Structure 1
């Protein structure tokens, strides 16, 4: 299970009503795309399907599952009250404070948590009054009587007065700790105080179990305000105010909302509402005891209902990021609007394990899963029967691939039934199976080709035409392997992705294969995309690849891609590429790749859409096609292991673009916890300092990245990735400033507006022996000792100097003589080594490089040519009738001919043409940087020059001719095959009558 934060798990929870609305709006958006209308799907889903619910409970670190109260501190941390104490939450971890780990604080049951005006936090307990927390310090408020109150409500007013509601009456704790029974003085009924609020006029509003009361600022008697304004004498649960100073009351008779001008609105009349809040968008959130949250967005918008598990508590909060926090008997819940949502089995899909998805031209979305095929249209998801039902039950069949059949229907590739052709109603029209010649019934990719069909199976590639299947094998230029992607580009080339590389099949039938571990950078090719510039993008297990000509560019973790294995690449038409993976969906601006190639950018700027954004799972599914789809309304659909992910691209990035505040959570010095409030002056014996910090991004805590620097020690920033602790050992004495910065993905440390930073100062005292006065005394004593020693040694040195001068003069002369001898020997050795090296690489008779040297040079030039360097031209030359010369004139004359030819070849410009004796009367010629015509002219010129060469030996003049065979580097894949080709053409020249050159 993927985690959200350190120990959290998320689930998208939507009511049936919300689902119907989501499906309806999505279908409407898709149809708008078909009919050319503005896409409305994404916008219409704003207040329904894009809400996700995340839950934490005791398994994740909560001290108790029942969360009574929730509040956010001034520093951004979330504080919770439970039966087992207080919990502080940073988005990843809970820090628990209870009577066992917090001496002097009786935090057995905490019912109320509010922020104090001073920046601290106030906690109302079940039996032990009110506690105040600030900067790591806890203290109990009030006198002896106040310290035994059962607290049900708290309010710190602007004037500093602390009002405390209890099950019997209302109290005020004065600045000196005295407890005043305000309820008795003001005539409030002896009933539980459930809620407190103060308005802009200074009036105090008191919610009780028997109704609503107001205590005017300058009055001594409370008014039964609720009864006089039509409210029943039923419990009031929560009080709040709107931005204009109006009053909102939640209770057992629903919600009453009085505007500043006196107008009244009623919501959920006759129903119990335990808590309410008015969010920054003006939506009214009402918490029902059943675990349902009702969101009222206005008179013209139907109420949204969001379900959580358990019985809801009064804990309800909107935090600084606009997230909603809710407590219940089953834990803590976070409700967030995300860029994505999931469509799952609960919404009507046959299975949560979705393998492939596609939208046909009529707007219908087809979803292939582990147990079958679903059709999504007209706000309805229907299960499609792929096999005849048995006993009234639809047989399960995994669908691995889909393709648009052009008439509203689809081609479906299955795990064990081959290929099925379905019409728009889901009726199976055609079945292609083993009896038709399929190499395998497991089909992972299908690609229509007019009335024909390309079929990618685990047993290889097949082509179906008029009921007949043709299988493609290595003999057809298509290497064996499991086919998992088929794609036709704008040039008509069919690209085949397999588990062994990729192959391009041109319209004319020619093929070009790139095999894994040879000339393909990866092993698996999962998807293809041809862009407008002609580049081919490949999703692979080694990152995103870009094929430009015959050259691959690789974009992987080394340039900032979160994971190397990506399954799908989609261009959204807005300048972004979308990649699916097992760790979420990545969005990357298209120009990032060009900047990486140009060297103007070092890292990709990647936005990750995952479970924290509403995806049903981080794990995307691949090895099936298509593994994602761009709908006609602009939404993106991705199959995952927990449902179909639906992403609204317009929302991506808009919810994360804020500064991430950082808080220091703990300072450990040699294992001992230190107060976070400074100053931090540490002793010289300090060996280990550990600083724990947290960047507060509750929407996506796993997307926060950190870097830190200890100024005065670290020369550069230390990239901490997502680690939240910095450790230093054996620091030198001095004053240091620890700085930590945080930013949410995508990370660009130059964007200071989105950069959160905190710092603290640490001072380490030097040991006693490094104090200035001790060092000064030590220096003085050492200087005196050194001076005395100097005087004594000076006299001794003078005596020894005279003796040593004589010895040095004698030995200097001896060493000089030996050095001369050694230099002479070294020069002779170097000359010998150069001679041996030359003989090892050159032929003695012709003074040309020998065969071994020729092989080395040829391999080097050939590799350069195959890597995109200058072309290589190769020629093998053989002296015509050389055996006849040897037989007629003797080997001495033959050797003279070879020597003369070697001298002539040595006269060539070696920068342009390389010549070597390849064996016997055969010579190797190589030229680089010339095309075939230029090389042929060069070799022909050399051949004709040799034909005019007169060789005089032992009074005999001999003239001979030569035959040549020429080949170019692009004619053969290896050096050996290139030599073999040149050799065959040499013998062709011999057969054609000699004294000629045969080339390409």
Structure 2
């Protein structure tokens, strides 16, 4: 089977088997080029509300629901919920965040937080409430957005362990994002904040109340902040805010993300999913395929598919395959010069050997007339539904109901029979572009020749014609471009100012802009500003010459060339042309992507068309390339990951990342694997090989289990590879190494030693037995004495370490809590005599930033030594954490305040040589009295509140907690 036939078969198989649930083609809003699929609880989801979606490094897709987290391999969901193994605190999962090294953070109800990596689970300390989002910052620290509580920071300690959480913002938070420069933004119930470990600053959005609920923050490819709020969506470049879409300014936007092509996607509360283009917003809702109009999550996977989580299930938007149509499909000649859509999803195709009609992937002669069997260069649609046909040697014909009739030639007014461009304008006039000039045919049949001699036409070699929204006729020639205005005048546009551009092969016209495919890239003419700009080699494109530019109504331009087809983002193209960006991202397609030839033809029009049905059709040197902007990249460029999902030995599951030795006497090893592609997983094919047991690869078809029985002892490596039908085996093979240990009697050295031992034991068994027993008795007695002493010393050391801060030698937080709890209970009848103070070193972060963390440690030890010397029993002092110390002070409130004032003065007189007299050492103290406190936690909270007020009042002071304050 030839390549084109294989790929057409591939396309057919994909379209049939890729529908997991159902698919709709949405044509009205601009989503028609996406293939849509829906998953609900009927297809294996544990719950229809999908709160978060992500993909780990191994390729798995994960979905957070209120009934657990579901892992998807393309064929089935595996549910993980609350149990001892996972450490998940509650089945309600709110957030999923993929981290480096194949790690996944899972957060949700009851403050549950769990880290999953490979086959292992690492439960973390609970947060105070529902965790809405998790952020791993550039230093691997954790930031938690907690419902109703705020933002909390947990320092990274190493080995999947994190320190105690510290609140940095006390406003209920929903989402966190970190910019490239390290700045962290928080979406909260009362605005958007810029937060750090020590500070939180609210950002004010113009015309939006400060307390407006912000649902979502994200970063785009330019590292600008994207904001979704109850009052629309916004973009923040670090200095100014700008609305993303004016028409959504009064809508509740639940999320905002940017895809790989620079297109913005917005989830709404009740309007469904919105996609923001350069000048319009497209929607998809329940009437067009969305499971529910409330969008709560969004994700683009590595294959380019977009997953949308709603309250009613998951929607997946993905690309679909393409095909090449040539002579084998009935085309008259493979060298195609022009293509035109006619009523219905049908296309007229002009080649060097005649005019064909393409319908449903099959082509046949467009006319029985022999005149149709000649070289066709150009086509144009007529208002009647018929078409004009420009030929290389015979002028212009009319194609009507399968018949060809000659209209114009050199014999009746054309300056040449070689016609490369045709147009019927909105006034019914016909424009004929030849190699010797332009002809205008009025509605009454009169003809006017326009050339360099009687007009300002830049050249007589006409290659492209198009009418803009103002009725002007744009003319592309071999020496530049001009337009024919309403005053019947030809006016040139000098395009040579951009890299010396000369040839204009094709146009794409939109309100206000004329895009031109030229020999120096894609040029944009701003009709309102009369300015010219371009996208060519200076913007990062590898080549200069492009023949046609068409828009796919999905947010991308497609450019044809002699070296394949190039795809650039529509919005990105405008930004580059406007000077907002310097380079343009692009995708390249050629023969390896299914084109019959990488040489797309140009020099006559139209050589490419974007059909109303969503297909892009290009004329090439080997047929036409019919492309649906979908799964090209996914099918032929994506490196298919393969994972081992489960390993069991004699029915007992093992962790293949840890358990490399399966033990002795294993009879059966079962390995389950999967290829993690989500385009057409049902059609994936597999082959395996067990190195050390097999010499050849074993083909498994679409079976995903390999079993081995009675494997001899030894070292093995299991290899598995996957492919699509008719495709190459993936070069990325998953490897799993393991060892089966021999039984004792199977070891040769054991057999030899057993024989020698048997002979030796016959002569000395009694003597050896008595001697060994006595020796063993003495050894055991000695070991008991040694271990008893070691345990005693270790117990004393553990007891000391459990209560002592290693840096300062003070009580640690645990010991302080125990002492405070005891004293509080003993003072229950005289709480007035019990006080607590929290001492915080002022501006301590500046010490670390200016002098280093080592100097910071010296400052902490200096203050700790002073406090230890000053605070005498029964009062106690402890290091609470970081630069904070806690004091338990016995006596009435006035005595405690005087004591704190003494400490304030004493610290300010301390001198630290490492600070070089460049930093004034002061502290802020928050003081509270136990009277009125139901428990010691309340006493602590009051002291913490007083400390906060001391800092707000300017630091270097003592503030007593007062339950009622008059401001």
TM-score after normalising by structure 2? 0.45
Structure ID, larger Rg: 1
TM-score after normalising by structure 1? 0.43
